[in-house]
Amino acid sequence: MHHFHYKNNEMYCEDVAIAEIAGQVGTPFYLYSHATLRQHFLAFEKAFEKAPHLVCFSAKSNSNQAVLKLFATLGGGLDIVSGGELFRGLKAGVPADKIVFSGVGKREDEIKYALESGILMFNVESFEELEQIDRCAARLDKKAPIALRVNPDVDPKTHPYISTGLKKNKFGLDKDAVVEAYKAANACVHVEVKGVSCHIGSQITQVEPFVDALRRIQELIAILEGLGICISCLDLGGGLGITYDQELPPHPSEYGKAVLATLGDSRVTLIFEPGRVIVGNAGILVTKVLYTKKGENKDFVIVDSAMNDLVRPSLYDAFHAIEPVVRNEKETIKADVVGPICESGDFLAKDRKIARCQSGDLLAAMSAGAYGFVMSSNYNSRPRVAEVMVKKNQFHVVRKRETYEDLIAGESVPPYLR
Ligand SMILES: *Cc1c(COP(=O)(O)O)cnc(C)c1O
């Protein structure tokens, strides 16, 4: 369920006509629905209400301050992968003790920042990282709370670029290494072993891979308990998929049921790191048609947003539905929807059947709330687009469009060139 819908053939976000926002803000822009964000977060919460749990929203999927603030207000925690995301989370009011720090390459200064902030735990991915965290904690005379990220070697049956829980991936520790790593962690004076974590991939559209991973983690927890290592947090990561096109992913409640059934009567605190499933369908990218042209086999619709604004189609061959903001054309065409960037890989959609459109029309790339704005860049010296949030009949620009001055703000010319 989301709150982008047509009223008299015109697309609305909640109670605001999208064309109205475009008129005031210009194009392109990302548009988020407050009600959808809230509803998706609460659906995930509800799925686990029967067990001790914490939903740590994955900041990397959408790190706008307004979005983070909303989830913080709803009681959520945060999953971060960098010092920058820690800064964003703390600024948005996420309590430090609800923040988990994932990622294979945490720098020393980032570890120090997280220790000083008092985060909930580090999801540690290697022996060397464990040693680094122990050293940093010793210097600060603290005990670093940690989980080790295990690679449960299950196939999430998703795109190879976004699967992370297979042996061949760079993430986590293999089953065989992990028990040794726990022994090592347990022997570190400045480390407190708290949990086990895993994250098997993204855009997963079945519950089985999660259940498989959970079973393997339960076996591991039993082994650790036999060694006197007590686990109080079980972090199952993120990865639940959404409908971009025809996919039929399980609803969070189904996922919840399967996880809780597998868990049995264990009272560990469950931690989740959902990103896409919360924000993906709560956001769209609104863009304007600049030109159309006829190719030999198909048409081209050239729009004012590009791969620097939404890179998923170029990067993963990802599908985003392209919908007209005003629906007044019955005739359809087969077209590539492309941006102005000087790369053949610059497209939002390929060989897509869409309503015939013309210069000046507004189009929406749907399901763009996750890994949209956060992956944008200034390639081709294109200012980053605005982000807008709608609540009921009001909209707010939650990140203003960059200017040309912003593009060069951090640059300087050395004296010998002046
Ligand atoms: C990317 C990532 C997530 C979020 O993944 P989604 O598919 O957006 O839910 C959670 N945890 C970790 C460690 C990640 O790398």
Answer with the one of 261, 278, 295 that is the final residue of a domain. 278
Other Cβ atoms within 10 Å of 247 Cβ, number: 11
- Give the Å distance between the CA of 202 and the centre of ligand 1: 6
Q: Are 252 and 240 in contact (CB under 8 A)?
A: yes
| Within a domain: 344 | yes
> Does one domain contain both 109 and 258?
yes
| Within a domain: 39 | yes
> Does one domain contain both 114 and 158?
yes
pLDDT, tens digit, for every residue of 158-174? 655 556 666 667 778 99
pLDDT, tens digit, for every residue of 357-380? 999 999 999 999 999 999 999 999
Q: Which of 27, 81, 290 is nearest to 197 (CA)?
A: 81
Q: Are 202 and 158 in contact (CB under 8 A)?
A: yes
Answer with the one of 278, 293, 310 that is the final residue of a domain. 278
Q: Which of 45, 40, 77, 74 is nearest to 58 (CA)?
A: 77
> Does one domain contain both 95 and 13?
no
Indicate whether residue 273 lines ligand 1 (CB < 6 A).
yes
Indicate whether residue 372 lines ligand 1 (CB < 6 A).
no
Indicate whether residue 237 lines ligand 1 (CB < 6 A).
yes
Indicate whether residue 314 lines ligand 1 (CB < 6 A).
no
pLDDT, tens digit, for every residue of 210-227? 999 999 999 999 999 999
| Within a domain: 418 | no
In tens digits, the chain (418 residues) has pLDDT values of 789 999 999 999 999 999 999 999 999 999 999 999 999 999 999 999 999 999 999 999 999 999 999 999 999 999 999 999 999 999 999 999 999 999 999 999 999 999 999 999 999 999 999 999 999 999 999 999 999 999 998 877 765 555 666 666 777 899 889 999 999 999 999 999 999 999 999 999 999 999 999 999 999 999 999 999 999 999 999 999 999 999 999 999 999 999 999 999 998 999 999 999 999 999 999 999 999 999 888 999 999 999 999 999 999 999 999 999 999 988 999 999 999 999 999 999 999 999 999 999 999 999 999 999 999 999 999 999 999 999 999 999 999 999 999 999 999 999 999 9
| Within a domain: 138 | yes
The CA angle 104-109-114, to the nearest 5 degrees, is 75
Answer with the one of 234, 260, 278 that is the final residue of a domain. 278
Q: Which structural domain range is residue 22 located in?
A: 4-32+280-408
- Give the Å distance between the CA of 298 and the centre of ligand 1: 37
Ligand 1 atom index nearest CA of 202: 7
The residue from 136, 188, 198, 342 that is catalytic is 342
> Does one domain contain both 203 and 221?
yes
> Does one domain contain both 304 and 218?
no
> Does one domain contain both 237 and 94?
yes
> Does one domain contain both 109 and 85?
yes
pTM, two decimals, is 0.96
> Does one domain contain both 271 and 290?
no
Q: Are 316 and 283 in contact (CB under 8 A)?
A: no
Other Cβ atoms within 10 Å of 172 Cβ, number: 28
Indicate whether residue 156 lines ligand 1 (CB < 6 A).
no
> Does one domain contain both 342 and 252?
no
| Active-site residue flag, 342 | yes
| Within a domain: 394 | yes
How many domains would you assign to the chain?
2
